[in-house]
Amino acid sequence: MNFLEQKICDEGLVLSSSVLKVDSFLNHQIDPEFMKLIGIEIANRYKSDRITKILTIESSGIAPAVFAGLELGVPVVFARKKKSLTLTEGLLTSKVYSFTKQEQNEISIAEKFMHPGEKVLIIDDFLAHGEAALGLADLVIKANAHISGFGIVIEKSFQEGRKKLEEKGYRVESLARVKEMNTNGITFIQSEVMSS
């Protein structure tokens, strides 16, 4: 079991067979030391890819993305889910449907922060149905930039997010891949050993 899988087992709460609560270190309270390790691990997997920018989405993708950005020495842009008072011109937008919340959001970034030809690493906290990930990919495509791959903290492998991304030819690196979960426990698809 890697250090993230261990943390999920120690602190995660299985709310149902499809929803995992990890608010003690990822979705509400953030454990900075732990998140730094997560960021370093994602960065290590892409360190030979000459990444020039990281793209994530508010809010829970920001913490792992910032630590990965620190490690790779590149800026981090986060897509907004709501219109911002100051973010009004030169926007790239994409529609994202949330299965969890059963609502459609228009996500956006400023064009000026995503240049044609950039090599972009897309990071998010969860990969579930893959809608947010595909929306972020769409923003990169609209900017004429290149998607180097995805860095995901927790993948729910029993949902179809990874399949959708791989079908499009994208590389997906997930630090923990949940195969199955219920009130008796969580099983993971065997992952690479990560040092902590």
Tell me whether residue 4 or residue 128 sits nearer to ligand G4P (CB atom): 128
152 belongs to the binding site for ligand G4P (CB under 6 A): no
Is 166 annotated as belonging to a binding site?
Answer: no
Indicate the residue among 89 and 103 with the shorter CB distance to ligand G4P.
103
Using the rule CB under 6 A, is 128 a contact of ligand G4P? yes
Q: Is 85 helix (H, G, I), strand (E, B) or coil?
A: coil
Q: Which of 125, 140, 149, 165 binds ligand G4P (CB under 6 A)?
A: 125
Residues 54-93, interacting with ligand G4P (CB under 6 A):
59-60
Burial track 20-43 (b if 16+ CB lie within 10 A, e otherwise): bebebbbbeeeeeebbbbbbbbbb
Per-residue burial over 83-99, b if 16 or more Cβ lie within 10 Å, else e, is eeeeeeeebbbbebeee
- Asked if 170 touches ligand G4P (CB under 6 A), the answer is no
Burial of 137-146, coded b for 16+ CB within 10 Å and e otherwise, reads bbbbeebebe
Residue 129 counted as an annotated binding residue: yes
Site residues, ligand G4P (CB under 6 A) = 19-22, 27, 59-60, 98-100, 125-132, 156, 161
Residues flagged as binding site for xanthine: 20, 27, 156
